[in-house]
Amino acid sequence: MSKDIVCSGIRPTGNLHLGNYFGALKNFVRMQDEYDCYFFIADYHSLTTHPTPGSIYQDARAILAAYIAAGLDPEKATIYLQSDLPETVELYLFFNMNAYLGELERVTSFKDKVRQNPNNVNAGLLTYPTLMAADILIHKATKVPVGKDQEQHLEMTRTFAQRFNSMYHTDLFPLPQAIGSATGLVKIPALNGAGKMGKSEGEASTIFLTDEPSVVRKKIMKAKTDLGPTQPNQTKPEEIENLFTLMRVVSTPETVQHFDDLYNNCQIRYGDLKKQLAEDMVAFVEPLRQRILELSSDEPQLRRILDMGRDKARASATRTLAEVRRVIGYRN
Ligand code: TYM
């Protein structure tokens, strides 16, 4: 039996952060031994919000270094740049022909972006989900490791796949599923207690894998807390629950239990909790940061990885595109 195909990507808009890591990259690494994996750097998608990025290749390299530092192996997974695969763009065009304005305008991430930046509501932003569908379906992937915020985009991918299949009377495309960790799709909260980590406007609330220990400590010590529990076993307010969520991903279960017990007995001191969280966070981030630094300076190695990935990705993409063109009726 052939292996399931996995595909996912991360945009190079700043350094990789804890949300990217636990929402996506950690699962890329976990899946590379079991499946036929395609992991790319979404450097076309960056233009939807950063139309003149200036250093797009440098930004993409930083993501690649983080991929390798986290344990992705270019011999096992196909690792490539989205912009090295023009076949994706042709598939994007075909999907756009059958994507409707109403459904694209209803996408939550589109509505958020319109609110945040009303002066740059471009067609690329509107068709973000069709480009994402093309990324995934160009390899006929069935599993897509992503964080919770991408759930709706995956739903749209299934819609476009299904619509294509029924319009052209084919079963060419699978209906891919969003995959999280064993406990489901992950959302890593921001340190200020508001929303998810990694929003571009929230750098002080985001822990990057490239943050130095002193920066990590400072960000955590500044995280928002309340006045403390007044009754045993009371429900935690969002900003406190968020600190516990972060603790659950970087600390031991015993540490989490210890502070949970203190909270439930109304004996917690948030300063102690933050100090422990900061140390556990530094212990988690620091080895990754060191490896990212080392790899970032090895340009020949990064280029070799990207060249190899491009060749493997194009072999898969040209096969799919030939079938797509044939079912629509184009000459191959
Ligand atoms: P991007 O670059 O915004 O985020 C990359 C991945 O990181 C996850 N993530 C989070 N997960 C949990 N908590 C957070 N705070 C958090 N912040 C980010 C995202 O869910 C995502 O999995 N559209 C994608 C990039 C993309 C893509 C694709 C993904 C383009 N084409 C095809 C999969 C398949 C994006 O914006 O990711």
Residues of the chain with CATH 3.40.50.620: 5-186+299-328
Work out the number of other CB atoms within 10 angstroms of the CB of residue 192: 17
**CATH classification of 199-293, choosing from 1.10.10.10, 1.10.240.10, 3.40.50.10170, 3.40.50.1860?**
1.10.240.10
Residues of the chain with CATH 1.10.240.10: 199-293
Ligand 1 atom at minimal distance to the Cα of residue 20: 7
Q: Which residue minimizes the CA distance to atom 5 of ligand 1? A: 10
Contact 175, 161 (CB under 8 A): yes
Ligand 1 proximity of 136 Cβ (cutoff 6 Å)? yes
| Nearest by Cα to 313 from 41, 15, 61, 33 | 41
- In the reported structure, the alpha carbon of residue 268 is separated from the centroid of ligand 1 by a whole-number distance in angstroms of 34
Contact 41, 63 (CB under 8 A): yes
DSSP state for residue 78 in the 8-state scheme: E
Averaged over 2-16, what is the pLDDT? 93
Which pLDDT belongs to residue 96?
Answer: 98
Q: Name the pTM for this structure.
A: 0.96
- In the reported structure, the alpha carbon of residue 168 is separated from the centroid of ligand 1 by a whole-number distance in angstroms of 30
Residue pLDDT, tens place only, 117-174 = 999 999 999 999 999 999 999 999 999 999 999 999 999 999 999 999 999 999 999 9
Residue pLDDT, tens place only, 56-110 = 999 999 999 999 999 999 999 999 999 999 999 999 999 999 999 999 999 999 9
Q: Which residue minimizes the CA distance to atom 36 of ligand 1? A: 11
- In the reported structure, the alpha carbon of residue 24 is separated from the centroid of ligand 1 by a whole-number distance in angstroms of 7
pLDDT higher than 70, residue 200: no
Ligand 1 proximity of 146 Cβ (cutoff 6 Å)? yes
Active-site annotation, residues:
113, 196, 199
Averaged over 192-212, what is the pLDDT? 87
> Which residues, 6 or more positions from 204, have their beta carbon under 8 angstroms from its beta carbon?
191, 192, 219, 222
Ligand 1 proximity of 316 Cβ (cutoff 6 Å)? no
Q: Which residue minimizes the CA distance to atom 34 of ligand 1? A: 8
Taken in order 160, 162, 167, 172, the sign of the CA dihedral is positive
Ligand 1, pocket-test mutation among 10, 82, 153, most atoms within 8 A of CB: 10
Q: Which residue minimizes the CA distance to atom 14 of ligand 1? A: 19
Return the higher-pLDDT residue of 293 and 199.
293
**CATH classification of 5-186+299-328, choosing from 3.40.50.620, 3.30.200.20, 3.40.228.10, 2.60.40.10?**
3.40.50.620
Ligand 1 proximity of 6 Cβ (cutoff 6 Å)? no
> Which residues, 6 or more positions from 257, have their beta carbon under 8 angstroms from its beta carbon?
none
Kindly state the percentage of the chain with pLDDT values over 90. 92
